[in-house]
């Protein structure tokens, strides 16, 4: 492993803490936002549960393939993909008006968590 400077260690540490903060923040928002989302989209709780299930499906998919991808493309690539998925997921969760699309971006949020 190459010698790391104090600045790079601090940057990696701050980035890791920020990633876990964003993960916890988005994970905790799913429950409180669900009733408003269901009311806004006119959905029932069965579809709401399916939407939340999307995040767990995404997590499962990412858990199975993230290690392989990290070996093939590198850890930095996996972290960048996870950040991109999180940004798309959060943006879509707050803007999409279709249950299928919200389910899909829920998968992206799940993928980003395992990344």
pLDDT tens per residue across span 47-99: 888 888 888 898 888 889 888 988 999 888 888 888 888 889 888 988 988 88
62 lies in some domain:
yes
pLDDT in tens, 87-114: 898 889 889 888 899 899 988 888 887 7
15 lies in some domain:
no
Question: Quick one: pLDDT at residue 101?
Answer: 92
26 lies in some domain:
no
Global pTM value: 0.74
Rg (CA), the chain: 16
Tokens 């999307």 belong to residue: 54
| Pairwise CA distance, residues 37 & 16, whole Å | 30
Q: Name the residue with higher pLDDT: 26 or 96.
A: 96
Q: Name the domain count of the chain.
A: 1
Question: Quick one: pLDDT at residue 115?
Answer: 65
Q: Are the beta carbons of 106 and 34 closer than 8 angstroms?
A: no
12 lies in some domain:
no
φ/ψ of 46, rounded to 5, equals -65, -45
Q: Are the beta carbons of 79 and 115 closer than 8 angstroms?
A: yes
101 lies in some domain:
yes
| Pairwise CA distance, residues 107 & 66, whole Å | 14
| Pairwise CA distance, residues 114 & 109, whole Å | 9
**Structural domain of residue 59, as residue ranges?**
34-114
């Amino acid at each position: 492993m190459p010698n790391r400077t104090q600045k790079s260690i601090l940057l990696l540490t701050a980035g890791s803490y920020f990633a876990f903060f964003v993960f916890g923040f988005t994970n905790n928002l799913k429950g409180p936002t669900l009733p408003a989302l269901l009311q806004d989209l006119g959905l029932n709780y069965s579809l709401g549960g399916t939407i939340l299930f999307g995040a767990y499906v995404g997590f499962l998919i990412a858990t199975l393939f993230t290690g392989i991808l990290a070996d093939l493309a590198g850890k930095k690539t996996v972290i960048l993909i996870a950040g991109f998925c999180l940004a798309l997921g959060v943006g879509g969760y707050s803007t999409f008006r279709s249950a299928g699309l919200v389910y899909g971006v829920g998968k992206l949020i799940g993928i980003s968590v395992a990344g």
